[in-house]
Amino acid sequence: MKQYFSSISLLVRDYDEEIEFYTKKLHFLIPEDTELEGHKRWVTITPRENNSCHLLLAKVIVEQKYNAVGNQSGGRVFLFLYTDDFWRDFQEMSKQGINFVGLPRKEVYGSLAVFEDLYDNL
């Protein structure tokens, strides 16, 4: 049996502003952006070099659920983005205005710099 994660849902308020953040600041790709019924879209984004797992942008449509946007993981780090050159990407992301939470640091598993997305997900 072969199993893997293909997509992880990310709650957003607006498809286009989240697409702009991920494509302009992080240089991600959009493998799919398909219109669905009811003003919904099937939008996936992925890092350029590895598209084995996508983020699926899930627009919140019920006003009472807006408080969940940006709090997808209860204030914990939501996703871990691997890079083959930590300092290159840290410097590029800093130039793009990415907001880092604290300074980069070395952990037992590697170098780490926590940043916020457009809605403050870590």
Residue keyed to tokens 């003003």: 39
Are 16 and 50 spatial neighbours (Cβ–Cβ below 8 Å)? Answer: no
114 has pLDDT over 80: yes
Indicate the pLDDT class of residue 62, thresholds 50, 70 and 90.
confident
Question: Residue 24 phi/psi, 5° resolution?
Answer: -80, -40
Return the pLDDT at 71.
85
CATH architecture of structural domain 7-61+70-115: Roll (3.10)
Of 2 and 94, the one with more pLDDT: 94
Indicate the pLDDT class of residue 35, thresholds 50, 70 and 90.
very high
Of 41 and 39, the one with more pLDDT: 41
Q: What does the pLDDT average to over 48-53? A: 84
Return the pLDDT at 5.
87
Return the pLDDT at 68.
83
Residue extents of the structural domains in the chain: 7-61+70-115
Are 27 and 48 spatial neighbours (Cβ–Cβ below 8 Å)? Answer: yes
